[in-house]
Structure 1
């Protein structure tokens, strides 16, 4: 596994880069990677099957210039920005037993993340792939899968402005049972650690053995033009 600590200035290109890392691994020109990134500005990102009209306060986003995007993986709608560390892992199914199964692969990846964070907070997995402390969520996760490799990516709130979540996101269309209809303000929290410390802990836990190169930015820009920047993709639901 290699390390890619890289954030592109364009939010859509960051989403496309995650997918590009999966695609080049599947094609045999890339490989396993841990990517860490943090947007310098805010963006709303809807899951592949999510509903923009239901999940997003589009008027507030438009008024503040917050872009609304759609990713290629599942999961719920999230607000990204400063203080929200994104991590992305591309693994082959042969990396560990059971990774061909979605629940098992979630347990494997999230177990590594929990182990990384054990010195920071007594966290647990709730729902299908949320990380929580005391039943309050600080991390959401999703996957995109191909024949030989899968992408698992997630968010880790580390000093995020939580007051912006209910401003730009409506109550979600689908909720895990443990949420119990709690509003955003009661359902999300920050880890008691900053982005730099959490980055260090993740790198120690995954132990990549070098820097990832070359970065498939040209492939990412193709995906932006073909999909991520198109209303037909973002507003399809």
Structure 2
């Protein structure tokens, strides 16, 4: 058979305000224990949290004393990539795919990144000057989307935190990374980033994203409650919430 029957199925889960730690745990489990393709869209997370890549060093990336003083949680996720601070104005889009789900895309970081850039080019078509620059999604030369990936033998995940808006104070918890994309130059966080709210409503962004995914997949909406995670108690997550002691030990900070 040809045509629509050949289009891979993608299960779509729309969430609102799901805590980012719970979302990352779900993503990791779906990547490693499911054989389905998934799209998770989470419209905001309840409270501010710092999320670090798997190999990030706390002392180099986070203003530790401020974070401990203000009780900002730090999560080390199961994917690579950089460090972000997320809150209710962050929109999360996660794509979990079998390696053969997207034709002509090899399961390596650069081909996946290039494919995702083309996908979001459709989302922002006619809206803004969207580009994929290095590993970032940008409007012009301002970053609004940060990406991370994890690739297993048969599957991969590509997830993005999109800034619909942000609070300048939250950005002060993050240090300027020692390794930054060339286009950043020497700009601080607030001069470097831009929120999507200047370009389109958050609901429209979500609908455009679902439509773009629907051009390549047969999208099947399902509820969070219907996901079979019966083996959750046996699954060991790599993603973890760091304790205050772990943060202090990693940075040798005394409070």
Please give the TM-score of this superposition, normalised by the length of structure 1.
0.87
Kindly tell me: are residues 236 and 106 of structure 1, through their superposed partners in 2, closer, same or farther at Cα, counting changes over 3 Å? farther
Q: Secondary structure at the match of 1:202?
A: helix
Please give the TM-score of this superposition, normalised by the length of structure 2.
0.81
Aligned-pair CA distance for 1:216:
3.1
Residue number among 184, 193, 212 corresponding to 2:200 in the alignment: 193
1:164-201 per-residue CA deviation (whole Å, 9 max, x = no partner) reads 34321111132111111211111100122232221111
More strand by share: 2
Q: Secondary structure at the match of 1:91?
A: strand
Match of 1:184?
189
Kindly tell me: are residues 74 and 41 of structure 1, through their superposed partners in 2, closer, same or farther at Cα, counting changes over 3 Å? same
What is the alpha-carbon distance in structure 2 between the residues aligned to residue 32 and residue 228 of structure 1?
24
Residues 39-118 of structure 1 aligned to structure 2 (within 5 Å):
39-95=45-101, 96-118=103-125
Listed as ranges, the gaps of 5+ residues in structure 2 are: 1-9
1:48-88 per-residue CA deviation (whole Å, 9 max, x = no partner) reads 11111111112222232220111111111001111110110
What's the C-alpha RMSD, in Å, of the aligned pairs? Answer: 2.5
What is the alpha-carbon distance in structure 2 between the residues aligned to residue 139 and residue 217 of structure 1?
33
What is the alpha-carbon distance in structure 1 between the residues aligned to residue 75 and residue 60 of structure 2?
14
Which shifted more, 135-144 or 211-220? 211-220
Q: Secondary structure at the match of 1:173?
A: coil
Residue number among 201, 206, 227 corresponding to 1:214 in the alignment: 227
Listed as ranges, the gaps of 5+ residues in structure 1 are: none
Match of 1:36?
41
What is the alpha-carbon distance in structure 1 between the residues aligned to residue 186 and residue 80 of structure 2?
21
Aligned-pair CA distance for 1:217:
7.8
Match of 1:125?
132
Q: Which has the larger radius of gyration?
A: 2
